[in-house]
Amino acid sequence: MPPDTKARLLQSAERILRERGYNGFSYADLAQEIGIRTASIHYHFRAKSDLVLALIERYAERIAGGLADLSRTAPTGADRIAGYVAVYRDALRQGSSLCLCVSLSADAESLEPTALAALEAFHQGGIAWLTEAFELAAEDGSIEHVGAPASEAAATLALVEGAQLVGRASRSAEPFERAVALLMARLRDVG
């Protein structure tokens, strides 16, 4: 097997999961797409739960890196919050896909405890990052009427993840944009 088979499996599995959800794909789908036998997939990922855990960990690391970059480059809390919303907007792909963790959350009843724990860690990491962004926004005045930053953060996570689901169901980005419009209207340019 070529050394990049595991990377190709992860890439394809992420795309399929983001488009179809956990219950909408199997190792047979993945084997057909990659052009290998299902036994070869089991060589890299003994069970579907192992593959999903690897996907969540890889995705969480990628998103955390992007948010760290955003923290370094976005000067205001509003800029950071707008950047966070953009991550979810981009992941929606005009209604054809979901954030990996949104897709998996929708099928949570089918996931193993380790995957559920990794999803919870992903969500808690997002809330912690957003809490800091709302704290900065309250300090720099770049968002109107900041309530408790931790509550604002939890509400924002729920907003963008729910907006993605509605956008995906309608196969359009329009419901997402309508859902985040009030939050985006609160953001001010203080530069």
Between CA 82 and CA 67 the distance in angstroms is: 12
Residue-by-residue DSSP string for 130-185: HHHHHHHHHHHT-BSS---HHHHHHHHHHHHHHHHHHHHHHTSSHHHHHHHHHHHH
Between CA 191 and CA 189 the distance in angstroms is: 6
CB proximity list for 183: less than 8 A, separation 6 or greater: 81, 85, 156, 159
| Amino acid residing at 20 | R
In this prediction, residue 1 carries a pLDDT of 41
Pick the closest to residue 115 from 50, 19, 36, 185 (CA basis).
Answer: 50
Phi, psi of 21 (to 5 degrees): 85, 170
Q: What is the pLDDT of residues 67-86, one digit of tens each?
A: 999 999 999 999 999 999 99
Between CA 183 and CA 145 the distance in angstroms is: 11
CA 56 to chain centre: 9
- Write out the chain's pLDDT in tens, 191 residues: 445 899 999 999 999 999 999 999 999 999 999 999 999 999 999 999 999 999 999 999 999 999 999 999 999 999 999 999 999 999 999 999 999 999 999 999 999 999 999 999 999 999 999 999 999 999 999 998 899 999 999 999 999 999 999 999 999 999 999 999 999 999 987 66
- Could you tell me the CATH superfamily of domain 49-186? Tetracycline Repressor, domain 2 (1.10.357.10)
In this prediction, residue 191 carries a pLDDT of 61
Distances in Å between the alpha carbon of 131 and those of 27, 125, 138, 149, 156? 38, 10, 11, 5, 10
Pick the closest to residue 81 from 91, 94, 95, 67 (CA basis).
Answer: 67
**The whole model's pTM is what?**
0.93
Between CA 51 and CA 59 the distance in angstroms is: 12
